[in-house]
Amino acid sequence: VAGPLFTLTTDFGAGSGYAAQMKGVLLAAHPDARIVDVSHDVPPFDLLAGALLLEACLPWFPADAIHLAVVDPGVGTDRRALLAVDRTGRRLLGPDNGLLTPFLDGARIRAIGPDGAVPPPASATFHGRDVFAPAAAWLASGGPEEALGPEVRDPVRLDWPRAVPRGDEVTGETLAADPFGNLLTSIRTADLGGRAVSEVRVGETPVRWMRTFGEGARGELVAYPGSGGRVEIAVREGNAAERLGRRGVAVRLVLS
C-alpha cells in the first residue's frame, strides 16, 4: 500500500531549502510519504498567481492527496492558518489570505489553532514547516480535522476576477503568465457556453483564435483554449508576457 500523498505549492524557490525542511518533517512522521512539488516558483507573495496554479493543478491529483500551499506574506502575524476540505473532499492547508480561494465555495474550513493537535510553531517566520506540515502529517495519520481548531465561516477571499459574458461577447483580462510567457485570462472556456469564437481582441489588437498555439505563425500572437480550463494568450515560440505584461490586459471574444 502506498503511503500518504502530499503536494507542495509555495513561493519559496526550489533551491531555498525551505521546501526540503517541510519534506523532512513529513518524512519524519510518515517514512512512506509520497511528496510532489507542484511549484516553488510562485512569484513571491503573488496570491492570485498561486491560486490560479492551484486551480489548474490540484484536480489532476488523486482525491486522497493532502495539498500544502504556502504563499504567506503575513506569516507570524495574526492571520489564521487554515484547513479547507472542499466540496469534493479535497484537503488543502494554507494561510487565510485568499490563496485557497478557488476551493472555498462550499468548503468545510477550520483554523489551525493554538489549542489544537498541532503544537505552537517553533518559528514565527516558517509556518510551512512548523504549522502546515505538522497539520498535514496529523491528517495523514487519520487525526480528526476537528482536533486542529475551530470552524471558520469567513475565510479571506481574493477579489477573484471573473469574465463578463454579455450577449455575443465575453470580456476579461490577463491574470498571470506561465514560464513560457503564455498568459492565463479571467475567461474560462466554460464561459463560452460551447459557442465558437469568431473574433478576438487583446487590448486593441485583433488576434486569431486557434485550437492550439502550434497553429500560429512563428511570433504571432494567438488566443486558444488552454489546458487548464482558461482562455490563454500566447506568442508561438515567443513570450506573450514579455510583449504584453502579465496582468490587466483586456481580452474580448466575440462568439458566433
Cβ-contact 8, 61 below 8 angstroms: no
Q: What is the b/e burial string over 123-157, where b = at least 16 CB atoms within 10 angstroms of the residue's CB?
A: eeebbbbbbbbbbbbbbbeeeebeebbeebeebbe
Residue 23 lies near a second copy (rule: CB under 8 A): yes
Cβ-contact 218, 141 below 8 angstroms: no
The x, y and z cell numbers of residue 115, run together, are: 489549542
Q: Which of 106, 154, 166, 211 binds a second copy (CB under 8 A)?
A: 211
Residue 6 lies near a second copy (rule: CB under 8 A): no
CA proximity to 25, closest of 174, 139, 170, 128: 128
Q: What is the b/e burial string over 2-38, where b = at least 16 CB atoms within 10 angstroms of the residue's CB?
A: eebbbbbbbbbeeeeebbebbbebbbebbeebebeeb
Residue at grid coordinates 469534493 = 88
CA proximity to 188, closest of 210, 168, 211, 171: 171
Comparison of 20 and 164: residue with beta carbon closer to a second copy: 20
The x, y and z cell numbers of residue 231, run together, are: 482562455
Alpha helices in the chain (DSSP H): 18-29, 47-57, 127, 133-140, 240-244
Name which of residues 41 to 60 contact a second copy (CB under 8 A): 41-42, 44-45, 53, 56-57, 60
Cβ-contact 139, 209 below 8 angstroms: no
Taking CB under 8 A as the rule, which mask of x and - marks residues 213-232 in contact with a second copy?
Answer: xxx--------xxxx----x
Stretch that binds a second copy, among 84-92, 104-112, 120-128, 153-161 (CB under 8 A): 120-128
Residue 77 lies near a second copy (rule: CB under 8 A): yes
Number of Cα atoms under 13 Å in the Cβ half of residue 210: 19
Residue 68 lies near a second copy (rule: CB under 8 A): no
Q: Which of 89, 106, 115, 122 binds a second copy (CB under 8 A)?
A: 122
Stretch that binds a second copy, among 37-45, 107-115, 139-147, 195-203 (CB under 8 A): 37-45
Residue 164 lies near a second copy (rule: CB under 8 A): no
Comparison of 16 and 204: residue with beta carbon closer to a second copy: 16
Comparison of 208 and 236: residue with beta carbon closer to a second copy: 236
Stretch that binds a second copy, among 6-14, 134-142, 152-160, 196-204 (CB under 8 A): 6-14
Residue at grid coordinates 503536494 = 7
Q: Which residues sit at the interface with a second copy, rule CB under 8 A?
A: 2-3, 5, 7, 12-18, 20-21, 23-25, 27-28, 31-32, 34-42, 44-45, 53, 56-57, 60-62, 73-77, 122-126, 129-130, 178-180, 211-215, 224-227, 232, 236-237
